[in-house]
Amino acid sequence: MKTTKKPNEGIVEKDIIGKIIVPSDVYYGVETERALNNYRVSGIHIQREFVQVYALVKKCAAISNMNAGKLDKKIGAAIVAACDEIIDGKFLDQFKIDIFQAGAGTNINMNVNEVVANRALEIIGSEKGNFSLIHPNDHVNMSQSTNDTVPSVIRISTFIEIKKLLIPALRMLEKELSDKAEDFASIIKIGRTHLQDAVPMSLGQEFSGYAETISFLIDNIENAARYLLEIPIGGTAIGTGLNASEEYRQDIIKQINNELKIFKIDEKFMLSKNRFRDTQNRIAEMILSDAINSFTIGLNKIINDLVILVSGPRTGIHELILKSAQPGSSIMPGKINPSYLEMQNMVLFQVQGTNYIIRKAVSSAQLELNVYMPIIAYNLLFSIRILSNSIKIFSKNAIKELKVDVERINKYIENNLSIVTSLTPYIGYDKASDIVMTAYKENKTIMQVCTELKILDPIKLKELLDPKSQI
């Protein structure tokens, strides 16, 4: 790769395809410039968290190559310093390649290589583009390939985001639901099946089911995330490890774990048990995505319940009262919608959509490599981010602020016909059914009908029809 300065027009760089002008004020090089021009599709690019972890891996590679005696100490130190700056959040505006790009993520890898090389050149007092001193491929990419670094970065960055963002947000939701289960423990309400009246339960029992569902689904995500801890770093192009020594592989995994201490992660990353498996397949990422998708399905059901329970206020069920977020209609004065529930459901639908994309991308790999890693990486990180952010809003504003319309609940309890169920062991199913039909037709309570028909001893009857005794 040769570079030539051209006054006022940037730097002319050359690769195997030919010459191209790279703006003089940027830190990337010819391959990134080609990608920026070739793939103007969406304006969406890989997340900063991914880029920063990529720089971390490049830093670790440089340290390991120096330790192995392959990389000059002065060059290696400059690469490490450049990577540290990116890790700290500098130069992130230099990574803007569209997420819909050439397969496997070669463009992303070379974008990082070029930016690191150019910044490293400045650090040693040279000019950007003087790749005869520090080369993007020969030095920054030493002992590496797109095909081992990209999957490693996907797993590391995703695991960090799971631990740092998603699990804390989900545990917050679990706690708010558990708190409500305790707060609502003494409130007796009507249970419903098929959207029809059923036997009594406590509102606390209903919310305990919600809390335990969330707890179960969080555990499922955490279990799935552990598969990400195996990374194929050092496998280079197809898993054989060509141009990367065993000494390098053993050292770089130590360096990565050492650098990741800043994220306060207890778990340790390890070399893949089989590098070919983890180069060919993104199965672990799919398993995690499926676990996150399962969470969205579970929460979707809970939200749909809440939509019903807050419906009203005059003509719906309205057992629960949701915090008002904003006016709900441009034409109907005073109308308030369950906005927090609607927002959260839309996020859940989006995450379910990204799960489909990830599954499709994982299943479409061929032979020794999955070429669809850019959209796998983007969609995993995107899902984690929007789910984490929305869950925090939902937990704080929808669940924590949830109130109960006790008067409405008591009214439903009083008129409930299904409490007759507790009488069936004493009078039989058929007679209990007759009592229900009589109460329904005559618009009476079960207690009124049973008293009129002198069903059982009055004291025993009162005891059996007490909703509290039925929960």
The residue-averaged pLDDT of 350-354 equals: 98
CB count in 10 Å sphere of residue 171: 15
Chain centroid to CA 37: 31
CB count in 10 Å sphere of residue 306: 20
pLDDT band at 471 (very low <50, low <70, confident <90, very high): confident
Q: Read off the pLDDT of residues 144-200 as tens digits, 9 standing for 90 and up.
A: 999 999 999 999 999 999 999 999 999 999 999 999 999 999 999 999 999 999 999
132 has catalytic annotation: no
Residue 373 has pLDDT above 80, yes or no: yes
pLDDT of residue 185: 97
Residue 423 has pLDDT above 80, yes or no: yes
Residue 141 has pLDDT above 90, yes or no: yes
As a whole number of angstroms, the distance between CA 302 and CA 176 comes to 13
As a whole number of angstroms, the distance between CA 76 and CA 372 comes to 31
Residue 368 has pLDDT above 90, yes or no: yes
CB count in 10 Å sphere of residue 336: 15
The residue-averaged pLDDT of 260-264 equals: 91
Residues 33, 22 contacting (CB under 8 angstroms): yes
pLDDT of residue 365: 96
Residue keyed to tokens 């720089």: 55
As a whole number of angstroms, the distance between CA 303 and CA 286 comes to 25
pTM for the predicted model, two decimal places? 0.94
Q: Read off the pLDDT of residues 38-51 as tens digits, 9 standing for 90 and up.
A: 999 999 999 999 99
Beta bridge partners of 98: 45
Alpha helices in 30-161 (DSSP H): 30-38, 48-67, 73-87, 106-123, 146-161
As a whole number of angstroms, the distance between CA 346 and CA 380 comes to 17
Q: Read off the pLDDT of residues 443-469 as tens digits, 9 standing for 90 and up.
A: 999 999 999 999 999 999 999 999 898
Domains of the chain, CATH where assigned: 2-142 (1.10.275.10), 149-229+278-406 (1.20.200.10), 417-470 (1.10.40.30)
pLDDT band at 6 (very low <50, low <70, confident <90, very high): low
**E-strand spans in 230-325?**
230-231, 270-271, 320-321
Residue 5 has pLDDT above 60, yes or no: no
pLDDT of residue 326: 92
pLDDT band at 10 (very low <50, low <70, confident <90, very high): confident
pLDDT of residue 11: 85
Residue 419 has pLDDT above 60, yes or no: yes
Residues 388, 323 contacting (CB under 8 angstroms): no
Residue 234 has pLDDT above 90, yes or no: yes
Cis peptide before 7 (omega within 30 of 0): no
As a whole number of angstroms, the distance between CA 60 and CA 254 comes to 9
As a whole number of angstroms, the distance between CA 235 and CA 278 comes to 9
What is the DSSP annotation of 434-455? HHHHHHHHTT--HHHHHHHTT-
Q: Read off the pLDDT of residues 270-321 as tens digits, 9 standing for 90 and up.
A: 999 999 999 999 999 999 999 999 999 999 999 999 999 999 999 999 999 9
Residue keyed to tokens 């070379």: 110
The residue-averaged pLDDT of 208-215 equals: 98
The closest alpha carbon to 101, from 92, 93, 115, 111, belongs to 111
Residue 397 tokens read as 């504003």
Chain centroid to CA 292: 6
Spot the catalytic one: 132, 329, 364, 433. 329
Helix (H, G, I), strand (E, B) or coil at 390: helix
pLDDT of residue 4: 59
Share of the chain above pLDDT 70, in %: 98
